[in-house]
């Protein structure tokens, strides 16, 4: 059988120190100039190596992006676990705080934009999003099945969607110079969170109308 040669291309080891440094350079480039600023030649220049070496570790640019996303995903899950612990009993507040982290959000927004046009990366983005979503939904469902606001039933999945999405879209708009309604929406979410996850132990405690 004339099997199509299963790619004899050599690839660097995953534990290589160089490899990690290349991922660092890539992440930096991505935050500074967006994913379009990530080229073999520029990653190489930033890390002080040749472009060919970058290609040795990451045969295609998709390989590079996927490796970076994978690394970030794990540190993100760790970070969320820490924020959750710091906000014991208030998972929504934890999700909100975590989602508002600028660096993390900026990178994920970059990856979302990237995934929109790179089929190979889409699956990885989806997997990372699924992991994150699962962790956060678990945190929510531990506390209550459903919230109600003025008689309207608010399912946890909708709350999670909004808490995750609002900071992302604000970040995108902000990068374009548009901030209309941002301040007001942030305040609204804060009010909402204070209402269903009051600081004190008393459920539905009334907050002073501060600020």
Binding residues for DNA, rule: CB under 7 A, are 7, 9-10, 12-13, 16, 18, 38-42, 49-53, 55-56, 59-62
Total residues belonging to the chain: 211
130 binds a copy of itself (CB under 8 A): yes
| Contact of residue 18 among a copy of itself, DNA, none (CB under 5-8 Å per partner type) | DNA
For residue 147, report the phi and psi dihedrals to the nearest 5 degrees.
-110, 160
Comparing CB distances to a copy of itself, the nearer of 37 and 198 is 37
Phi and psi torsions of 149, nearest 5°: -130, 115
Please enumerate in sequence order all residues whose Cβ is within 8 A of that of 199, keeping only pairs 6 or more positions apart, or say none.
205, 207
Instruction: Give every CB contact of residue 78 below 8 A, 6+ residues apart in sequence.
Output: none
Residue among 101 and 173 whose Cβ is closer to a copy of itself: 173
**Nearer residue to a copy of itself within complex by CB, 86 or 187:** 187
Q: How many CB atoms lie within 10 A of CB 143?
A: 14
By CB under 8 A, is residue 125 in contact with a copy of itself?
A: yes
Minimum Å distance from CB 53 to DNA? 4
103 binds, among DNA, a copy of itself, none (CB under 5 to 8 A by kind): none
Nearer to DNA, 42 or 195 (CB): 42
User: Applying CB under 8 A, what is the total number of residues that bind a copy of itself?
Assistant: 50
* Dihedral Cα 47, 50, 54, 59, nearest 10 deg: 170
């Amino acid at each position: 059988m004339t099997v199509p040669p299963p790619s004899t291309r050599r690839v660097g080891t995953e534990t290589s120190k160089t490899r990690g440094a290349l991922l660092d350079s890539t992440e930096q480039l991505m935050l500074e100039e967006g994913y379009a600023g990530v080229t073999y030649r520029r990653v190489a220049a930033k890390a002080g190596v040749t472009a060919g070496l970058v290609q040795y570790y990451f045969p295609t640019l998709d390989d590079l992006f996927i490796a970076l996303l994978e690394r970030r995903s794990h540190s993100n899950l760790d970070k969320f676990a820490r924020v959750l612990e710091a906000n014991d009993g208030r998972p929504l507040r934890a999700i909100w705080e975590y989602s508002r982290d600028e660096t993390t959000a900026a990178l994920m927004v970059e990856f979302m934009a990237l995934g929109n046009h790179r089929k190979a990366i889409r699956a990885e983005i989806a997997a990372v999003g699924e992991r994150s979503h699962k962790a956060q939904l678990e945190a929510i469902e531990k506390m209550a099945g459903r919230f109600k606001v003025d008689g309207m039933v608010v399912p946890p999945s909708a709350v999670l969607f909004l808490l995750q999405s609002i900071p992302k879209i604000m970040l995108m708009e902000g990068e374009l110079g548009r901030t209309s309604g941002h301040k007001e929406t942030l305040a609204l979410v804060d009010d909402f969170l204070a209402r269903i996850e009051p600081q004190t132990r008393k459920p539905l405690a009334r907050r002073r109308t501060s600020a």
